[in-house]
Amino acid sequence: MRQYVREVRRGCQPVESGEVILAANCGSRLLLAVPTRYVSYERLKQQRTASNQMDIAEIRDDFSFLDDWEDKYRYVIELGKKLPDLPDAERTERNKVRGCVSQVWLATRQNGDRLHFEGDSDALIVRGLVAILLAIYQDRTPKEILATDAREIFGDLGLKDHLTPQRSNGFVSMVDRIQSDAKAALAA
């Protein structure tokens, strides 16, 4: 099992040995690090470079390693940056999500009994929220989608308490849209 340590202070340079940060060099002082389960956003970013599409378990796991909300915001933005671009042909009124302050598009396709989503936004933080939603719902059956409470997951990640009410409402609008598409697929 890997060991993670918390970086001692902002602006300090970690002194590393393999996967473990041993100490932090803070100018004229060398501060020893105490092993914990936390890791900085920058360290976590280095560890998560293999895949653009993550599942919600990986995102939850990553959130548990980040103890600073500034790092969590950066992580959400990074998720959005990794999101594949939505083709211009999918940026239609039909795919636009109503109720979001930012522009958000969600395109839904049915592949057999599963729904596949593509999404995008003109705001980086919202793009990250789209990436989280895709991690929750991507390639699931309509029944699985309707049985999954993304609002609860949103709350578990702490996003509900740290985003503006407008962003939270936009997230709910995106969830409603995905669930509406799942209901339509079930009815078809």
Q: What is the DSSP code (8-state) at residue 98?
A: T
Q: CA-to-CA distance for 175 and 136, rounded, in angstroms?
A: 10
Concerning whether 100 is annotated as a catalytic residue, the answer is: yes
From the candidates 86, 100, 125, 174, give the one annotated as an active-site residue: 100
Supply 150's token pair.
Answer: 């993304």
Q: CA-to-CA distance for 94 and 84, rounded, in angstroms?
A: 20
Q: CA-to-CA distance for 69 and 24, rounded, in angstroms?
A: 21
Q: CA-to-CA distance for 80 and 119, rounded, in angstroms?
A: 10
Tell me the catalytic residues.
100
